Every structure is written in C-alpha cells, then in structure tokens.
C-alpha cells in the first residue's frame, strides 16, 4: 500500500508553525513511517510534485503575488489542503497593515524606519509584487483549518496523523487549548 503524500510550504510567516511541526520530535519519525513527505521549505525539494499529493499544508498569509502563486499551486496539487497557523487561517499579524493604504504601510516599513539604510521598497516585478494581506482561505479553498500561533506540536501531529489514517481531523475545543 502506498503511503499518503504530504507537502508543506510557507507563505508570509515567521516560520513558527514549521518549527512547531519539527517540535513533534520523535513522533515525526512515527508520522514519516505512515506518510511520504514530498516537499517542504525544510527539505531540498521545495515544490509539491506536479503529480499531486494527498495533503498540502500551508503556513503563513498571502501578502504578495508569489505567495498567491504558491497557494494556488498547492491547492491545485493537493487533494486536501490544510491552513496551519493564525496567519494562514486569519491573516495573522500581517493583516494589521491592511488598515492603511499599502503604499503607506510599505513606506513606514521600508523607508520611515530607523533600521532602514537604503530605503528601498521590495517589489521588483520579476521577484514579487506586494498585495493586501489575506488568509489562505480567502484565495483558495481550504479543507482543514488549524488555528494557533503557532499551533502546538501535539495538534499538528494529531491533524497530520488523522489525515494519514484517511480521516478528517475534528478540532474541538479540547484540542485548541492555549495556555
């Protein structure tokens, strides 16, 4: 029997959700005995295979056109798409910039900032173009939402283990306990 294939990727994020994924620790070995990890920002292979995966997991918000491309590609190549972490689920802290015109937010971040030296706003069209912040679910269909900043390793393991077993995880209040 073939193992379910899982791919992960991150968008605009701090990497905390992927660190929480790594914090599964020894259970990661248990999980990898059940699934095939095809690609991840943490491995050499970064892009999910064109042949598709059973589960795609995205962390981070969509705040530029490269993020949008990555989210759409993961949706297209995943049978089940998981939005993992508050940035992916709600837009996260990055959403705060949506309260101002994008040009003002970028000016404040890249030019009117004491730590800025050159004052260049990123946005070379060949690299990426900034967009207003959106959650993953605002740009593509999401099948499973896993909130948390970051979600606990236990919750991430539970979700991936349930999906590996062919079940949609039930994230009730008892699993979403934030201490």
pLDDT of 6-50, one tens digit each? 999 999 999 999 999 999 999 999 999 999 999 999 889 999 999
Residue 139 confidence (pLDDT)? 98
Q: Report the residue count for the chain.
A: 179
Best CA proximity match to 80, nearest among 108, 57, 110, 49: 57
159 within 8 A of 89, measured Cβ to Cβ? no
Please, what is the average pLDDT of the chain?
Answer: 92
Best CA proximity match to 134, nearest among 56, 41, 68, 57: 68
Residue 26 confidence (pLDDT)? 94
The C-alpha angle with vertex 6 and arms to 5 and 10, in degrees rounded to 5, equals 155
Residue 178 confidence (pLDDT)? 66
Cα–Cα distance measured from residue 99 to residue 160, given in angstroms and rounded to the nearest whole number = 35
Cα–Cα distance measured from residue 39 to residue 10, given in angstroms and rounded to the nearest whole number = 11
Cα–Cα distance measured from residue 51 to residue 49, given in angstroms and rounded to the nearest whole number = 5
Residue 179 confidence (pLDDT)? 62
* pLDDT mean over 87-115: 91
Residue 137, pLDDT > 90, answer yes
* pLDDT mean over 140-158: 96
pLDDT band at 106, cuts 50/70/90? confident
Residue 99 confidence (pLDDT)? 94
Cα–Cα distance measured from residue 123 to residue 126, given in angstroms and rounded to the nearest whole number = 8
85 within 8 A of 60, measured Cβ to Cβ? yes
Please tell me which residue, 109 or 165, carries the higher pLDDT value: 165
Cα–Cα distance measured from residue 156 to residue 84, given in angstroms and rounded to the nearest whole number = 8
5 within 8 A of 38, measured Cβ to Cβ? yes
Please tell me which residue, 127 or 60, carries the higher pLDDT value: 60
Cα–Cα distance measured from residue 66 to residue 21, given in angstroms and rounded to the nearest whole number = 23
Residue 122 confidence (pLDDT)? 74
Residue 174 confidence (pLDDT)? 79
pTM higher than 0.95 for the full model? no
Helix (H) and strand (E) counts in the chain: 6, 7
pLDDT band at 109, cuts 50/70/90? confident
């Amino acid at each position: 029997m073939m193992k379910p294939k899982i791919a992960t990727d991150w968008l605009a994020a701090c990497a905390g959700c992927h660190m929480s994924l790594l914090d599964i620790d020894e259970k990661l070995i248990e999980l990898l005995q059940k699934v095939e990890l095809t690609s991840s920002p943490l491995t050499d292979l970064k892009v999910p295979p064109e042949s598709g995966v059973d589960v795609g997991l995205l962390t981070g918000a969509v705040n530029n056109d490269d993020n949008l491309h990555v989210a759409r590609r993961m949706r297209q190549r995943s049978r089940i798409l998981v939005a993992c972490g508050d940035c992916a689920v709600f837009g996260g802290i990055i959403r705060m910039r949506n309260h101002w015109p994008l040009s003002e937010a970028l000016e404040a971040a890249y030019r009117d900032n004491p730590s800025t030296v050159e004052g260049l706003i990123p946005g070379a069209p060949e690299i990426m173009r900034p967009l207003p912040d959106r959650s993953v679910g605002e740009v593509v269909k999401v099948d499973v939402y896993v909130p948390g900043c970051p979600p606990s390793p236990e919750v991430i393991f539970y979700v991936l283990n349930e999906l590996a077993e062919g079940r949609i995880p039930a994230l009730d209040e008892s699993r979403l306990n934030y201490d």
